[in-house]
Amino acid sequence: MIVLGIESSCDETAASVVIDGREVRSSIVASQYELHEEFGGVVPEIASRAHEQHILPVVRDAIAQAGITQADIDLIAIGHRPGLIGSLLVGLSAAKALSWSLGVPLVGVDHVHAHLYAGMLGRDEPQYPALGLVVSGGHTSIYELRSALKVKRLGTTIDDAIGEAFDKVASILGLGHPGGPQIDALAREPGANDRSFDFPVSRLGKDSLDFSYSGLKTAVLYEAKGKPAPPALPGKDPLPKPEVPELTPERMRDIAASFQRAAVRALTIKLDRAIERIDGCQTLIVGGGVSANTLVRSKMHEFAGAHGLELIIPQIGYCVDNAAMIAGLGERLFSSGQADDLTLSAVPTTAC
């Protein structure tokens, strides 16, 4: 089955051709980093307009690079949730138009579930039950999987996503957007000391499988820029803002490494708790943009090794948003009997 996948949920316009849910024939991603850089984050209106400009060339490139024609396509898979509503609508409208004009079926795919599928591209089906972890710019969630389609969320972030924390810390340190890869690189610099600062690791009680990254982000902000001046007492002069040491390159890389250690430690604490709740767990499945992070990858290998699990983690190119994961999971959904029609909606939230 030849599947065309389309993805436009945030700031990447992507299209991909995947055969039988496994073999990636093409994967085209048009990023918009430079458009959002000066704002330090994704601006929804700018993203929608850029998707509108990129969508047709990206779809054409994906079909051409796969060496097929439109007439060869058997199914259109579209990431229709979750995401920025204006961005989702651009991809969804293109997908519907193609499905209608080519007379081929359409299937809607949950973007977060597709991140869990990304590591299964190009390989055999793993063993279940599995423990799943999605770490991205918009999501930090833990799952129990009984198959690629039977996905149950066990916990999620109660505030910021881990990738958002990486991006905000990068912005505090004056680095560009997206900041995750830059923090990763700084933390790997020779001499970077991840014990320099004792940043907080959120646990949220002893049983919780949820995550919280806002406290860590604030702790980094205070370390880098200083705490706000204490409020003045009535009738007294305001107290001066406490002095902060200069943000030297050495201090920056120590802050980056210490932040990264705390951020990743929170993941392994929750995985330790979650695995106790999945009887006979066989596999650890990780996905999302932050699964490209060097420390995340090595800790996931360590965790899987320590628990006798097989680790499924995407190749670097399929960690961040892409349409191959959408096409792959779309094929799975369609083969199991699911399909959508032209009433399919864009939905800002995940299906859980």
Contact residues: ligand KG4, CB under 6 A: 10, 136-138, 163, 166-167, 178-181, 184, 288-290, 292-293, 320-321
**Residue 178 site contact among ligand KG4, Zn ion, none (CB < 5 to 8 Å, cut-off depends on kind):** ligand KG4
Task: For residue 12, state whether it binds Zn ion (rule: CB under 5 A).
Answer: no
Q: What are phi and psi of 156, to 5 degrees?
A: -155, 175
Quickly list DSSP for 59-93. HHHHHHHTT--GGG--EEEEEEESS-HHHHHHHHH
Side-chain-facing half-sphere of 5: CA atoms under 13 Å: 38
Q: CA 86: distance to chain centroid?
A: 19
Enter the DSSP assignment of 289.
G
Nearer to ligand KG4, 98 or 292 (CB): 292
- Between 167 and 321, name the residue whose CB sits nearer to Zn ion: 321
**Closest CB to Zn ion among residues 136, 141:** 136
Q: Which amino acid is at 300?
A: M
C-beta closer to Zn ion: residue 121 or 281? 121
Hey, which residues between 183 and 222 contact Zn ion (CB under 5 A)? none
| Cα separation, 214 vs 160, whole angstroms | 6
**What would the DSSP string read from start to end of 176-216?**
-SS-HHHHHHHHTSTT--TTSS-------SSS---B--HHH
| Binding window for Zn ion (CB under 5 A); candidates: 49-57, 127-135, 272-280, 317-325 | 317-325
Shortest Å, Cβ 115 to Zn ion: 6
Comparing CB distances to ligand KG4, the nearer of 63 and 165 is: 165
Give the separation between CA 218 and CA 278, rounded to whole angstroms: 34
Name which position in 160, 167, 223, 321 contacts Zn ion (CB under 5 A). Answer: 321
Stretch that binds Zn ion, among 120-128, 209-217, 248-256, 316-324 (CB under 5 A): 316-324
Residue whose CB is less far from Zn ion, 13 or 258: 13
Binder of residue 140, out of ligand KG4, Zn ion, none (CB less than 5 to 8 A by kind): none
CB-neighbour burial class of residue 103 (10 A; exposed 0-12, middle 13-18, buried 19+): exposed
Q: Which does 328 bind (CB under 5 to 8 A by kind): ligand KG4, Zn ion, none?
A: none
CA distance 180 to 320: 11
CB 307 within 8 A of CB 283: no
Min CB(350)–ligand KG4 separation in Å: 10
Give CA–CA dist 318/312, Å, rounded: 12
Is residue 129 classed as helix, strand or coil in its secondary structure? coil
Tokens of 286: 């990780």
Q: Which is nearer to Zn ion, 199 or 289 (CB)?
A: 289
Site string for Zn ion, 125-154 (x = CB under 5 A): -----------x------------------
The two tokens of residue 140 are 């930090």
Smaller CB separation from ligand KG4, 138 or 155 = 138
The span from the first CA to the last CA of the chain, in angstroms, equals 27
Residue 190, CA atoms < 13 Å, CB-side half-sphere: 0
Q: How far is the CB of 106 from ligand KG4 (least distance, A)?
A: 22
| Residue 194 DSSP one-character state | T
Shortest distance, position 181 Cβ to ligand KG4, whole Å:
4
Please state the closest distance from residue 291 (CB atom) to ligand KG4, in A: 8
180 binds, among Zn ion, ligand KG4, none (CB under 5 to 8 A by kind): ligand KG4
Residues contacting Zn ion: total by CB under 5 A = 2
**Which parts of this chain interact with Zn ion (CB under 5 A)?**
136, 321
